[in-house]
Structure 1
């Protein structure tokens, strides 16, 4: 047996052990889909209210918005409130899929490699976006980049990577959208 095969088998055993330790009844595909539904809705609300705010501040040529009193305050309040609510939803979703980090080998095909890369982009931008938004509510800018433009660009990255993620996971989402979890649904790693 070559060194590579020994290292790979040792890593496979350790990763399987880590997945076993992390096993929990709440870590099911159904739980992941339910939290993902809430999280996608929250991101959509934040995206639409943020887009409204952005277009009010930098309207496209010929674009006019009605200036009803309180509409901007309502949409910004909704944007910030839902943006803060994203934190526990995102952490809950990551908790349900955490054992998938310990799959070995990490990618079995080019498709799976692309899927994991798109998920890495989604997770990193989804963690960064509400974090810099929350820091913005304190009007503290410890970074060298312009907040508004970066926040706007990250929103489009999230929407695009979320669309890819939903497209890839659509069979799982459809399977667990409405039905209750069963004992066979325990493993999130089967997806």
Structure 2
């Protein structure tokens, strides 16, 4: 019985390695992933903060006074929210393109932390793409889903922030090693 599982595992490893090699590109480096991740992270932070401001304007808390001047502040924050949120679509896709071959690492889970990494990535990718697509469709005021856009957008933002925090925690060694350009990278 052991020989069948050994052969299946070996065959899967060979196929995963072939896929990974086929997807290899010089641009798919940890440094590229960190640089794009930094930009995407800033974009999500801007969208999250402007979204929280919008939410508090629409659902004020009695104990939290918000600025009412300048009058255009809300329009500026929402314009920023929509512009940065829309710009996140190609940035998230670029980040996915850079890290895509990692999905074919074999075995997919080597250490317990890998389970946390894969789980956070799954939540982060699914939530981010859904959030961005929903936001873009909202700009057209088209809602092809049966649930509330505002409540779902609000809830997803908190889920995404949590997934980002977990992802940063798991990937901190890679981020620290590639945060600054080394040597001839400038």
TM-score using structure 1 length:
0.92
* Displacement over 3 Å in runs of 4+: 180-183
> CA RMSD, aligned part only?
1.5
Instruction: Find the aligned partners of 1:168 and 1:95 in 2 and give their Cα distance.
Output: 20
Name the stretch that deviates more: 36-45 or 97-106.
97-106
Among 123, 134, 137, the residue aligned to 1:135: 137
What stretches of structure 2 of length at least 5 have no aligned partner? none
C-alpha deviation, 1:86, in angstroms? 0.3
Question: Could you say which residue in structure 2 is the equivalent of 1:45?
Answer: 46
Give the match's secondary structure for 1:3. Answer: helix
C-alpha deviation, 1:56, in angstroms? 0.3
Among 134, 156, 159, the residue aligned to 2:158: 156
Q: Which has the higher contact order (CA 8 A, sep 6+)?
A: 1
Name the stretch that deviates more: 152-161 or 62-71.
62-71
Instruction: Find the aligned partners of 1:93 and 1:24 in 2 and give their Cα distance.
Output: 14
1:23-62 alignment runs, 5 A limit: 23-62=24-63
Q: Per-residue displacement from partner, 1:99-118 (whole Å, max 9, x unpaired)? A: 01111121123221122011
Q: Per-residue displacement from partner, 1:69-117 (whole Å, max 9, x unpaired)? A: 1100000000000001101110111011010111112112322112201
Q: Per-residue displacement from partner, 1:127-165 (whole Å, max 9, x unpaired)? A: 111110111111111111111111011000111110110
Among 110, 113, 129, the residue aligned to 1:111: 113
What stretches of structure 1 of length at least 5 have no aligned partner? 184-191
How many residues align? The count is 183
CA contact (8 A) 1:35 1:89 kept: yes
Question: Could you say which residue in structure 2 is the equivalent of 1:89?
Answer: 91
